[in-house]
Amino acid sequence: MLIRKPDALYGTNIPSSEITPKDKWLNRRSLLTGAAAAGALALGADRLADVLSPTRTALAAGKLTTVKSQLSTTGEELTQLQDVTSYNNFYEFGTDKADPGHNAGILPTRPWSVKISGLVKAPKVLDIDSLLKLKPLEERVYRFRCVEGWSMVIPWVGYSLSELIKVCDPLPSAKFVQFTSYFDRKVEKWTSESNIAWPYSEGLRMDEAMNPLTLLTLGLYGDVLPGQNGAPVRVIVPWKYGFKSAKSIVGIKFVDKMPATTWNDLAANEYGFYSNVNPNVDHPRWSQKSERRIGQPFYAQRHPTLMFNGYGDQVASLYNGMDLKKFY
Amino acid sequence: MKKSTLILIKVLVWIACLYPQATLMYGALTNNLGPDPTKTITFTTGSTALNLLVISLGITPLRKLWSKLSWLIKFRRLLGLFAFFYASVHLMAYVGLYSSFDPNTMVQDILKRKFITVGVLAWLLLVPLAVTSTTGMIKRLGGKNWNRLHKLVYLSVSLGIVHYWWQVKQGVLAPLPMTLILTALFVARPLLDWWKARKTARLQAAKA
């Protein structure tokens, strides 16, 4: 593993967005764009050209003021912004990793409201500005591990979801939280590329949602979220596989039974409701023992996968007495 | 066809066939293989192998359809061998970048993960075809036997497509276009044979 001295990156209160010049995150691969375009004789390499020259997605000009967080992961090299924004799973905007970066810019992120419903004292609708102002925004660096076997290290911006849940005032009967993602076939014209029953739905057990690590996420790299990363508001559950971290949330519902979730509905044997990162439980089609770190050279990409993605100290107790091979 | 034209087309086909590999090598040297270099390498080599196999299978139906295109046969071996080359690089990418050269992991993967099982099988089936691709081997086997042996390519490419389907996430339809093209090619052969037979029969009937 590439261990960098934590102090070198996080020694002061400077957000990392100010350490690496923005040009650098954005321009790394621009040189090759010309070369890739020159060889138009693509034979099965049509996608390659796409990967090599991803459209630069302009970030909305919305610098966010953040404070440092004790819950931030240290000692990891950050994945470059260009990779974080050009390698995404967001099937509403296409199934290829580069598609969301090209297509998700049309997400109408303002005005945006999130409907709080279900087992709460008073259902309500919160707009994005009130979410941005609800609590001081923190920068939280987390490892992000996709069920497909790749990973990133991303400086997210947000605050613990528990802060919002407290404001929502759920009833004692609320045992689970269900997140619903934005869905509009007129905007998301790519939904027919996959056989998924939209809108995307995800869920957490109440204690998982209340864990301080679970982040209500409003930005990354010091800016508001780009469309492809789930603008304008999503959750990040760093000890679970990435698909648990629902994007572009329009609904948060408190329920008493385990809610239906998109990937679990599609293939329950591959994607469990819990889906905690676990190197000891293989995906039926591939091993989860190791992962490919995005943005590193091919010969150095493979890293061992950590139990609970390395967040066991904070979350292992949530699953005391549970057989994690059964409840994968 | 003029000899110079043929040479020109040959050069172009070689360039087209080498292009994906060249891009990968250039990308590897300059650390420019996209966000997930391992996946870029496996996806590019795997899909190029399948594309080339499908194209090589299209040659016979095209020749049957237009006799003017019969010169295409001169490229079938080249395309087939390049397909084998990319399938081999694809396999090596798995061995080096996914299993990290660990024999135990490889055995476990082949036994436990059916998409890897069929993938390895598809590659194994291509080996005898590549070995017997030389003119000398065709002569030694005799045309009939050689033809019979090389029917294995249908099985291999089908397994390759299955390998693709089983690898993508449930609900993802990316392998669909290639599957449809291959199905069309499978159907095209008996259909064209039947059409030709009918045409010959009619001609003979007209003569008599």
Going from N- to C-terminal start, the domains of chain B cover 3-173
CA distance B173 to chain A (A): 6
Domains and CATH numbers, chain A: 6-319 (3.90.420.10)
Q: Which H or E run contains B163?
A: helix B152-167
CA distance B45 to chain A (A): 8
* CA A243 vs CA A145, A221, A238, A271: distances in Å: 9, 21, 11, 9
Give this complex's ipTM: 0.76
Cross-chain Cβ contact A285/B34 below 8 Å:
no
Q: In Å, how far from its chain's centre is CA B147?
A: 16
- Per the DSSP assignment, residues forming a β-bridge with A303 are A291
| Cα A316 from Cα A311, distance rounded (Å) | 8
* Helix, strand and coil in chain A, % to nearest 5: 30, 25, 50
Out of B22, B40, B48, closest to residue A51 by CB: B40
| Cα B91 from Cα B120, distance rounded (Å) | 8
The single residue listed with the structure tokens 């040297």 is: B29
Contacts of B44 in chain A (CB under 8 A): 44-45, 47-48
Cross-chain Cβ contact A298/B19 below 8 Å:
no
Whether cis (ω within 30° of 0) applies to the bond prior to A232 is yes
CA distance A173 to chain B (A): 34
Output the pLDDT for position B206: 82
CA distance B12 to chain A (A): 9
Out of A83, A282, A299, closest to residue B35 by CB: A83
Token representation of residue A32:
């090759």
Output the pLDDT for position A16: 52
Output the pLDDT for position A62: 56
Query: How many Cβ atoms are within 10 Å of A120's Cβ, its own excluded?
Result: 18
Cross-chain Cβ contact A45/B19 below 8 Å:
yes
pLDDT in tens, B93-103: 999 999 989 99
The single residue listed with the structure tokens 């055995």 is: B107
Output the pLDDT for position B172: 80
Give the dihedral sign, CA A84/A89/A94/A98.
Answer: positive
Cross-chain Cβ contact B35/A31 below 8 Å:
no
| Cα B2 from Cα B204, distance rounded (Å) | 34
A254 and A87 Cβ atoms separated by less than 8 Å: no
Cross-chain Cβ contact B20/A196 below 8 Å:
no
Nearest 10 degrees: Cα torsion A297, A300, A303, A309 = -30
* CA B104 vs CA A43, B92, B112: distances in Å: 34, 16, 12
CA distance A307 to chain B (A): 20
Question: Among all residues of chain A, which has the CA nearest to that of B49?
Answer: A44
A217 and A236 Cβ atoms separated by less than 8 Å: yes
Output the pLDDT for position A45: 44
- Each residue's pLDDT tens digit in chain A (328 positions)? 444 444 444 444 454 554 444 444 444 444 444 334 333 334 344 444 444 443 333 344 458 999 999 999 999 999 999 999 999 999 999 988 999 999 999 999 999 999 999 999 999 999 999 999 999 999 999 999 999 999 999 999 999 999 999 999 999 999 999 999 999 999 999 998 888 899 999 999 999 999 999 999 999 999 999 999 999 999 999 999 999 999 999 999 999 999 999 999 999 999 999 999 999 999 988 889 999 999 999 999 999 999 999 999 999 999 999 999 999 9
Cross-chain Cβ contact A285/B166 below 8 Å:
yes
Cross-chain Cβ contact A97/B35 below 8 Å:
yes
**What residues of chain B score a pLDDT lower than 70?**
208
Output the pLDDT for position A50: 43
Cross-chain Cβ contact A48/B170 below 8 Å:
no
Per-position b or e across A143-175, b if 16+ CB within 10 A of its CB = bbbbbbbbbbbbbbbbbbbbebbeebebeeebe
- Per the DSSP assignment, residues forming a β-bridge with B172 are A194
